[in-house]
Amino acid sequence: MILLQLFYEFFKTGLFSIGGGMATIPFLQHMGEETGWFTNQDLTTMIAVSESTPGPLGVNMATYVGYETAGVPGALLATLGVITPGIIIILVIASFLSKFRNNRSVEAVFSGLRPASTALIVSAGITVAISVFFVSSDLSPDSFPAVKWPAVALTAAAFVLMQWTPLKKLHPIAFIAAAAVIGIIFQF
């Protein structure tokens, strides 16, 4: 039963997360709250790991959650669940695209989808920022959350360094690797 639920949950995520990997994050957040498979803190860790490994974010996250929940069969079915809607949609679109390429209705649909996927990505970014910069145990309605100052300092330093001309030529992997080493050394 858990395998079917994994496939179904990730199929829904793959079907409705228009805009790519970051657009899957709100769906994953909701999934974690509903199923209990992972917490928001786990989600933040999964995003960091998925972003620093090869492959699409949504697929990496599905594989990870599936594996943690039900082992290798869970990883396979969750991954299959998240990619199946995209495959179906691409096949359908490809078969009709040449006929409707310049159709005003099609253009109108895409004009509506762009802001919606942008909003999903911004929402995901805010959610990730909150979990990275604030101590989650202190997020109660009656208290002001404690700030994780080392994370703020590392973010500010990385931003400043990325603006410095000699470092602009570095590949983003260099910044990810440096941040990983700093996180290991200082145990953020």
pLDDT tens digits for range 118-131 = 888 888 888 888 88
DSSP 21: G
Write out the two tokens for 123. Answer: 């929402």
Mean pLDDT of the chain: 84
Give the integer Cα–Cα distance in Å for 63 and 99: 36
What is the per-residue DSSP string for 3-20?
A: HHHHHHHHHHHHHH-TTS
In angstroms, the Cα distances linking 183 to 106, 139, 153 are: 46, 23, 12
pLDDT tens digits for range 91-120 = 888 887 767 767 888 788 878 888 988 888
Structure-model confidence comparison of residues 35 and 141, the more confident one: 35
Average pLDDT estimate for 141-163: 80
Structure-model confidence comparison of residues 27 and 20, the more confident one: 27
In angstroms, the Cα distances linking 141 to 126, 144, 171 are: 18, 8, 41
Write out the two tokens for 24. Answer: 């899957």
- What are the sequence ranges of the domains in the chain? 2-134, 149-186
Write out the two tokens for 79. Answer: 């991954």
| pLDDT at res. 109 | 83
Residue 147 CB partners (closer than 8 Å, separation 6+): 133, 134, 135
What is the per-residue DSSP string for 96-143?
A: HHHHHTT-HHHHHHHHHHHHHHHHHHHHHHHHHHHHHHB-GGG--TTS
